[in-house]
Structures are given as structure tokens and as C-alpha cells.
Amino acid sequence: MGRYVEGQDRTQSVLFPERLDDWIHEDSTVRVIDVFVDELDLRKLGFERADPAVTGRPAYSPSTLLKIYVYATSTGCSRADAWRLRRNATSS
């Protein structure tokens, strides 16, 4: 088990549709954000918790939280709402 809470593999087979990745259109902004954030070195950008803690409940990956924040703000979600989303995801 990894030290981060991991999302589902988008190529994993599910009941409907066949793959989670099929729900996302090929030209979707989500795909651009996914590739862009994966290429970032979060430690160099100042993310203090880019390395997971050894103890306690696994945290959400900082790259996943950044992807959610970037997508939310790019689709019209206010900055306050996006930070509230981030805070709620990290406080549970």
C-alpha cells in the first residue's frame, strides 16, 4: 500500500462504461491539466508536503489536489470555493 490515498486507475474496467477514462472526452481540459501537473516538480515549487509522511492515515496526493484546484478555477469555480474544496479534502 502506498503512502498516499490513490484514485482509481482510469483504465480499470467498470460496469458502465467499460473504462473510467471513456467518460472524459479526448479534447477535455482535464487531460491537459493531468499531463501538465504530472510534469511539475512540486518540491521545487514549494509544496511543503510533496513527500508523504510515514505515519498516520495516508494523505491525498498534492498533485491530485492541485489538479482539482486548477480544474475548478479554470471552469469558473471561485478561488474561495476551490480552497474550501482543498481544505475539506485535506481535513478528513
For the chain, the structural domain boundaries read 27-91
- What pLDDT is stored for residue 33 in this prediction? 93
Segment 19-44, tens digit of pLDDT: 778 888 889 889 999 999 999 998 88
Cα 36 to Cα 33: distance, rounded to the nearest angstrom: 5
| Residue 50 pLDDT level (bands cut at 50, 70, 90) | low
**pLDDT(2) > 90:** no
Tell me how far apart the alpha carbons of residues 35 and 11 are, in angstroms, rounded to a whole number: 16
Q: What digits encode the pLDDT tens for the residues 6-21?
A: 777 777 666 666 677 8
Percent of the chain with pLDDT over 70: 75
